[in-house]
Amino acid sequence: MNLMRTAMLLAFMTALFMGVGYLIGGQAGMMIALVAAAGMNFFSYWNSDRMVLSTYNAQEVDERSAPEFYRIIRDLARTAGLPMPKVYLYDSPQPNAFATGRNPENAAVAASTGLLNALTPEEVAGVMAHELAHVQNRDTLTMTITATLAGAISMLGNFAFFFGGRRDNNNPLGVIGVLVAMIVAPLAAMLVQMAISRTREYSADRRGAEICGNPLWLASALGKIARGAEHIPNEEAEGHPATAHMFIINPLSGARMDNLFSTHPDTENRIAALHEMARYGGGGGPAAGMPSGFGSTGPILTANPVRKSRSVPNTGRGGSQPPKGPWS
C-alpha cells in the first residue's frame, strides 16, 4: 500500500510538472528547468553521503573502535541480506540516527553519541534496523527523484515570474496561469515531497521491525528519541533544515505535528502501528546472531568518544583511522 501511494504521488508530481510547463507556455522552458534540476540532483545523488556526513562531522568507526555498536549493525545487515554499510558516529547530545548513500552497496548509517547513551542495545538495534530498511528500500533514490521533480517545478515557477507576463508566450490562462505556476505549483510539489517522506518512514518502521525481530524495540526507541529531540537541540540540524527528513525523528525544534507540512509522521502514530504489529506477531522474534549484551538495560556508550574535529570524514575504503574512544 505504501509503495503504491509513493508511486501515485510521484506520478502526480510528474503531471504537475507537465502542467506548469503548459501554463508557462512552451516546451523549451520546461526542458531547461528539468535538465537544470536533474543536473543538481545528479550531483547530490553521487555526493550527498559525503555532504551530510561532513555537515554533522561524523566519524567512521569499526569493530575495534565501537565493537558492540558495529556488531549490532553487522548482524542486522546479515539478517536483512544487505552488504555491510559504513558505520559512523557523530557528536550530539540529541538521540537520533540517519542513513545515507545512493544504494545498498554504497550505504552509510550514522548514530549520535546521544542515541547510544540514551538507549539500550535492543532499542539501538531497532533504530539501526529502521535505517537499514531505508537502505534496503532504496529510499535515497526515491527522495532524489522526488527532489528532482520538486526542484524542476520550483525552477519553472521562477521562469514564470520572469517570462510569464510576456505577450509572445503561449500561456492560455494569462495572469492566473502565471500565479499558479509561481505559487500554487511549487507549494503543491513541496507538500507531495513531504507526503512521500512520511510514507517512506512508515515503510521503514515496518521493515525495520522485521529485521530486528521485535517491533517493541523500535517503538520504545522512538518514544525516547522523540522526547530527547523535543528537549535537546541539534544545532547542526537547525542550521541545515533541508537534512531533517533523513533522521528517524525530526531533529528540528517545534516539528512534532503530523500534518501536510511535516516530513515525519506523528511519533505516537508510528508507535501505535508498531504495537499493533507486535500484537499480531509481526517481527518474528529477535534477529539471529545478535550480540551477547542484549537483554541488558544499560546504554552502549557511557562517555563521549567523538572528537570535535571539523575535518571532512573520508568515506572511501581507505581513509583516516577511526577515532579512539572508551568503547575500545
CB 262 within 8 A of CB 241: no
Q: Are 228 and 247 in contact (CB under 8 A)?
A: no
Cβ atoms of 219 and 268 closer than 8 Å: no
Output helix, strand, coil percentages for the chain, rounded to the nearest 5. 60, 5, 35
Q: How many helices (H) and strands (E) does the chain have?
A: 11, 4
Q: What is the distance between the alpha carbons of residues 46 and 130, in angstroms, rounded to a whole number?
A: 23
Distance CA 44, CA 32 (A): 19
Which grid coordinates are listed for 47? 555526493
Q: Is 130 annotated as a binding residue?
A: yes
CA-based max dimension of the chain: 73
**Residue 268 among the catalytic residues:** no
Q: How many residues does the chain have?
A: 328
Cell of 315: 568515506
Q: How far apart are CA 183 and CA 105, in angstroms?
A: 39
Distance in angstroms (rounded) separating the CA atoms of residues 63 and 83: 16
- Return the CA Rg of the chain: 21
Residue type, 215: P
Helix ranges, 81-232 (H): 113-118, 121-136, 139-163, 174-179, 185-212, 215-231
Dihedral class, residue 145 (left if φ above 0, else alpha if ψ from -120 to 50, else beta): alpha
Q: 264 among the known binding-site residues?
A: no
Residue 180 DSSP one-character state: I
* Catalytic position from the list 60, 122, 123, 131: 131
Residue positions forming the annotated binding site for Zn(2+): 130, 134, 201
- Which residues are identified as catalytic? 131
Bind-site residues? 130, 134, 201
